[in-house]
Chain A
Amino acid sequence: MDVILFTFFALVAIVGAVSLVLQKHPISSALSLVSVMVALAVLFLLLGAEFIAAAQLVVYSGAIMVLFVFVIMLLNAGAERESRKGGLAQFLGLPLTAILLVFASMVITQSMANAKAVKFGAFSGGGPREVGWELFTRYLLPFEVTSILILIAIAGAVVLARKEID
């Protein structure tokens, strides 16, 4: 059962990602990204990360993607125009990402040769209780610093997006 679920949602994620890159219209790309995020949430669940899976659905496919779709609609963004002004990235981009992928796979298969197999339910330390416990004891300082970051982000977004008042 694990194999079926993993294969299905991994395929959904990869197809969604490819569709995100290939779609010409931003709104289609955004919907492809939502499918990738939902598939990844299921994979997090398979890995025993219940809280992160829920947060993935709420924060990413809920909040962030709504923000993206909202901005696309607001700007009335049409289909992307083709342009051959690319330069170096057009020629070197594909080979370099292929090299990156091959090297990453090599490192993974060599260094993680004796990794344990993933079995659903084998790791149960990812519930809200465990995550919250770690977050408010060992990771308290990073957690508090994050709140300052969010405050700055809110102020920055408001300052950037407001209309100029003359």
Chain B
Amino acid sequence: MTHLLPPEFFTATVPLNAYLILSAILFAIGACGFLFRKNIITIYMCIELMLNAVNLSFVTFSYQFGKVDGQIYSFFVMVVAAAEAAVGLAIILTIFRNRNTLQIDEIDTLKN
């Protein structure tokens, strides 16, 4: 396969901006889902998607500056996301037990 393709093909590099823009796209999709979806579990998963997009930015900047600090931050984001998932899903369980629904537009007692 090596002689079929030009050698530049195997040494070509990806610009760093591509990673950052991918991260922005994922964040925007997550924000869209957060705004438009009505199922509380799906909204929660959109938040996880946004956290993941930010993690990608952290790791990309860690590469850019040649330091490991960005990866440490993304590690902390992961830990906090795990804690948040545990507590959030417990809250969802309690809401479902009390209201018997997962639609957020039916859980609007605090509104108005």
| A residues apposed to B, CB below 8 Å | 1-3, 6, 10, 13-14, 17-18, 20-21, 26, 29-30, 33, 36-37, 40, 43-44, 46-49, 51-52, 55-56, 59-60, 63-64, 67-68, 71-72, 74-75, 77, 80-81, 83, 85-86, 89-90, 93-94, 97-98, 100-101, 104-105, 108-109, 112, 115-119, 122-123, 125-126, 130-131, 134-135, 139, 142, 146, 149-150, 152-154, 156-158, 160-161
Distance (whole angstroms) from the CB of A46 to the closest CB of chain B: 8
In the complex, the answer to whether A150 meets B79 with C-beta atoms within 8 Å is yes
What secondary structure prevails in chain A residues at the interface with B? helix
| B residues apposed to A, CB below 8 Å | 9-10, 12-22, 24-33, 35-39, 41-42, 44-46, 48-49, 52, 55-56, 59-60, 62-64, 66-69, 71-72, 74-76, 78-87, 89-94, 96, 102-103, 105
In the complex, the answer to whether A68 meets B26 with C-beta atoms within 8 Å is no
Hey, which chain A residues are within 8 Å of B17, CB to CB? 108-109, 112, 115
Alpha-carbon distance A134/B70, docked complex (angstroms): 11
Distance (whole angstroms) from the CB of B39 to the closest CB of chain A: 4
Q: Top 7 nearest A-B pairs by Cβ distance?
A: A153-B83, A117-B13, A93-B35, A21-B33, A160-B90, A115-B16, A104-B24
In the complex, the answer to whether A40 meets B52 with C-beta atoms within 8 Å is yes
Alpha-carbon distance A156/B83, docked complex (angstroms): 10
In the complex, the answer to whether B85 meets A75 with C-beta atoms within 8 Å is no
In the complex, the answer to whether A68 meets B71 with C-beta atoms within 8 Å is no
User: Would A48 and B33 be within 8 Å (CB), given that A101-B25, A105-B21, A160-B94 are in contact?
Assistant: no
Alpha-carbon distance A36/B26, docked complex (angstroms): 9
Set A97, A118, A156: member contacting B87, Cβ < 8 A:
A156
In the complex, the answer to whether B74 meets A17 with C-beta atoms within 8 Å is no
Alpha-carbon distance A152/B86, docked complex (angstroms): 11
**CB closest residue in chain A, given B97:** A163
Hey, which chain B residues are within 8 Å of A89, CB to CB? 35-36
Distance (whole angstroms) from the CB of B36 to the closest CB of chain A: 6
Hey, which chain B residues are within 8 Å of A157, CB to CB? 86-87, 89-90
In the complex, the answer to whether A90 meets B83 with C-beta atoms within 8 Å is no
In the complex, the answer to whether A161 meets B94 with C-beta atoms within 8 Å is yes
**CB closest residue in chain B, given A139:** B72
Other than the given A21-B29, A83-B105, A101-B28, 8 more pairs (CB < 8 A) read A20-B42, A33-B49, A36-B49, A68-B41, A131-B72, A131-B75, A146-B80, A157-B87
